[in-house]
Structure formats: C-alpha cells, structure tokens
Amino acid sequence: MLLPLDSPHWHDLTACWSAERAIELLRQIVSTGRLGEAWDQLHEEITHQGSVYGVTSAALPHLIRLAPSLTPVEQHNLWIEIGLLITAGADSFDGKEPVPGMQETLTQSLRDAEPIALQAFLDSPSLDASDASYLALACVALSGHTVGRAIWEFLAPGDGYVRLKCSECDADECDVDGFGDPVRPPCAPPPVPALTPRARPEWARVPTDLPPGFEGFSAVARAVADAGLPGQAPAAAVWCLVAAMVASKGDLPWARTLLRLTGHFRCGTCGSVQPIATMLDHAPVDSLGSSQPDTAAPPAMGSPEMADPDPATVADEAGFKPAPGDSVSAVQITLRPVQVPGDVQIPARCEALVTMPDGRLDARVPWLDKLRDGRTLLATGHADGAVHLRHPLSRNSFGELWRREGQPVAGMAFGQDLVVVYGSLDVDVWSPIAVSGERSSMAPKAEYLHANGHRHIVAVCVATDLGYRKPILLADRNGTVSMWETFGVRLGDPLPPDPRHREVFAIAASAGFVVTASRADANLRIWQPLSGMCSLMPLEAAPQWLNFTGDTLTIGLTTGPVSFSVR
C-alpha cells in the first residue's frame, strides 16, 4: 500500500526531528514535481549520520514514482541518495509498518526503481568520476547485491584511502592506502563466473568494454551484466562491472583504480591475506534486501603490508607476464631535440631553495623565527642525516632543522613545504610556517608507501601543473613512482616498475610530464599521470642528472648535456 500523503498514519512513523515537518516537505516535492530546497530540508528528516527512520521507508515509493519526471541532474542525486538510504536499512519497515501492505509496496517500488536508475545511468553521456562511481553503486544497491554497500565508503578520486575490515583478527580499524595486492599483480582479473541468470535484461545493455590490456576484466563484467547482476555474483566480479560502468563515462584512470578492489590484501596485524572485495563491508546495517553478504561483518584491521610475490608463481597463477605499463598505457612519446640552454645548471639532489614566510610567528625556536621575513634560504641535506638552513650565497648555517642518525639524505625538494627522502621508506615534510619548528606528523607513512610498491625512495620532486596543489612525486630505486599531498594523501595510481628501467636515481616533472632516469639501462621513463600514457626513451650514454626549465628537459650524460622540448 502506498501511504497517501494526507493519511494520519504518517504521524505513527519516526523521523529524525519531526514527522509532521517531513510529510509537509514531501507534499511540496510531489506537488511541484521538483526536488529543490524542500529536498534539502527533507533530507535532514529522513537520514542523520547513517540512521534512517520509518518516515524514510514510507517516503521512498513516492520519491521513486517522481524520479522519471526530474531533470537528469536531479535524478542522479536522487538515485545516489536512495542507494545510501536503502543500504542504511530504509528498504524495510522491520515489522513496524503502520498499515499492512506497506512493506510489499516498498519492496515492489525498489524492484521497479532498479531499471529506471540504470536507464538514468545509461542516458548520461558523461559523468564526473565521483558521480559515476556513486550512481553505478546505487544501481548495484537497487539490484540487492551486497557490493552496493560500498556506496558508504565514499570512494572518490583524490581521497586515496579505503577502509577494510579483517575477518581474522581484532585489530583496530584504520584507513589504508594503495589497494596493494600481495597475491598477484594489480590488474590481474578474477575468473569469469558461472552465474544463474536473473530476470533483469536491462543490465545486458551496460557497456563493459574496458581499454586494451583489460580484456579479462571486460569478460568478467560482461558475464555479470548478461546474467542480470544476480545476488550470487562474486563481489570481485561485480567490481569489474562497476569499474566498466565508470570507464564508460570517460574516467579511465579512476576505473583502473576501482579494479584494484578485485585483488587481495594482507592484514598488517595478523598477516592473513583476504580478498579486498569481501573486506569492504561498511553499510550501517547488517543486511541488504534479500541478498546474503559474502562474509559476516568482520572485525577491523591494522596497517597494510604488501608482500613481494614470486614472479614465476604470479605468472602461472594469473596468466600475467610482468611488463611495463601494466596499469598505464604504454605508448611512444616523442620529444623534440632543442639546443642546450646556455645557463643550464646541474641540479643538486640534496639542496633546495626554501621561501620563508613574511612575518614572525612567535615560534618556540627563536633563531628560526628571526628568519621569517620573506627571504629565500638554502636547505641542505647531509650524509650524517642532518638538514640545515643556510645563507644561499655564503652557505653559512643558521641552524640544524633535524637529523636522522645513520640515514644519509638522498633527495630534497621544495614546493610549499620542504620534502626530504633518505633512500628508505622514510619521508620527512617540514613547513616554513611550523610554529614548533618540527617536522609534520602527517607525511606519507612508510606502511602506505610500502603498500604502493616502494622499497627504497631515492628521489623527490614537486609538480605544479598536474591538476593538483603542488603534489610531491616520489621515485623508488625499483622504478615505482607515486604522487602525494604533503599531508599524506595519495593522488591517483602509482606508476609500477618496469624491468627495462632499473636502478632509478633521479626524477623531474614539468608541463604535465614526469621523467625518471636509469643509469643501469641508460634510458628515461616518461609518464603523463593525467592521461596514463608512458614510454621509455633510450639514451646514447648513461645519465648523470635531470633538470626541467619550463618545458625544456635537460639530461646530463657522461658525454655531455642534451635538451628536449616536451611540448
């Protein structure tokens, strides 16, 4: 039974603040046929901090009936919100329906909503990455599959984190990064499932063609879609479909990241290895529709750790041969030779110019506070692990900022903050405006760096033109490159190693390009993070240093410097 909007039984239902106010706002929405300001106010009554109410469940059939008349943007917002509401428990009156038949009406309305929401997704020519993720997961939630619960994870590009729960131990929950897979390389597809078809032919129309190199994932996504996304579909297989849906809206890098959720993860506390897809279970309730969860809600997990899989085992197990560009598009990027700039300077890997703030901060370090007058200083890193601030011309030291005993400084860079690396997994970040004068406690953590494939970080640079606020780029000796905010949030997928680009020692970035240099293989690796393109460029001699001046890349070779334009 659809509860009439003038029924006195609305007053028998719970709301966050006022059932009377909720029904009045719902009447406004239904009478105008638009969401508008009334929707924002109704939202405050039907959900609060993951909780839903009786009035929420009673309102859903009215909102679903209204959906086809809304604008595309309104439909997207509504379906995403309905996905959040039903995974929070609004798909059931829990035996407390004020009028018999309301649960049956609600269940049928949600069943009818699934193809309408899916059509709204298909009709959208493009969506930004976040909307595409949420709308796809809302459709999955309406299908009744447990993967829809991940809509509460708020997966979005730039966040860089996902919460997992370990089912084997009682470790405290934490945010983990990297989506590291200790069983097989990232992007190895799960097996194509054999599924019992479900009577939802609309899913067969969902695009499942991922880019070349991801055909295995496309086959899994197609199998799930053709079966109508049945409740017994393995969670990893459903993530293949979600990633394909996101890719169909034009965001391939984010689709690639979502594919990491089909892999495995090792709990840093108990060491157990589990599928990531079954560790994502963050709906505010324990059940969803008529589907059964893949596992019982497990305890939380600790810090991440990514194992080093044996390459032979990995190749046999996943049909994967390690190759460059596994998570990027390997293409040939051609650089145009140009005349070497006359004023080119060899970059100092363990020095960086630091711009001090203009104005005293009453800091607890008097000598440091005296330097805060807008001047430019020279930061230097030393073999004994010390970092100093010096006069840029005389090189006289004003004082020691900090020291890591036994860890020689390997590289330094300055954007808004000073970043220092040591050839290990330690990364230090220091802000010139730090009142205490101490290093930041929010620098990228060693366990997160390890989960992203780092083992020995040997170089760092700052980029200003990659669509973010001066991110830092960390280069590993093994060729892994990752991009981070200085406060510890990863930006996008890391660039994996390439066996043809070994013993990396330097990194530089400008004009949308990131370049690393290998002495062992006498080549450069050129990466465009925003497009995912990557290429190797052979050199006639071993490189000694890299330097970007605008869009001109200069490489110091044993035979002399050469320059290229990257435009």
Domain residue ranges of the chain, discontinuous segments joined by +? 1-124, 148-320, 330-565
Give 51's strand partners.
48
Question: Hey, is 372 helix, strand or coil?
Answer: coil
* CATH fold for domain 330-565: Methylamine Dehydrogenase; Chain H (2.130.10)
Site of tokens 């190797």: 536
Please give the chain's pLDDT, 567 residues, in tens: 688 888 998 888 998 888 899 999 999 999 999 888 999 899 888 998 788 999 999 999 999 999 999 999 999 999 999 999 999 999 999 888 888 889 999 999 999 999 999 999 999 888 888 899 999 999 999 999 999 999 987 777 665 567 778 888 866 555 555 555 555 555 578 999 999 999 899 999 999 998 888 899 999 999 999 999 999 999 999 999 999 999 999 888 788 888 888 888 777 777 788 888 888 755 443 333 333 333 222 222 222 233 333 333 322 222 222 333 334 445 567 778 888 887 777 888 899 999 999 877 666 888 998 999 999 999 999 999 999 999 999 999 999 999 999 999 999 999 989 999 999 999 999 999 888 899 999 999 998 898 888 999 999 999 877 654 678 999 999 999 999 989 888 887 789 999 999 999 999 999 889 999 999 999 999 998 877 788 999 999 999 999 998 889 999 999 999 999 987
pLDDT at 359: 78
Which tokens in the block code for residue 261?
């959720």
pLDDT at 172: 56
Q: Do residues 171 and 299 lie in contact, with contact meaning Cβ atoms separated by under 8 Å?
A: yes
Axis-axis angle for helices 72-85, 102-123 (nearest 10): 130
Which tokens in the block code for residue 567?
């435009």
Residue of 286, 206, 194 whose CA lies nearest to 241: 206
Question: Hey, is 555 helix, strand or coil?
Answer: strand
Residue of 371, 391, 505 whose CA lies nearest to 432: 371
Q: Do residues 343 and 554 lie in contact, with contact meaning Cβ atoms separated by under 8 Å?
A: no
Which tokens in the block code for residue 354?
């630091």
CA distance 141 to 305: 31
Site of tokens 């606020």: 469
Name the E strands within 391-454: 397-403, 411-414, 418-421, 427-430
Which tokens in the block code for residue 438?
């101490």
DSSP assignment string, 152-200 = GG---TTT-EEE---SS--PPP-EEES---SSS-TTPPPPPP-----S-
DSSP state of 89: I
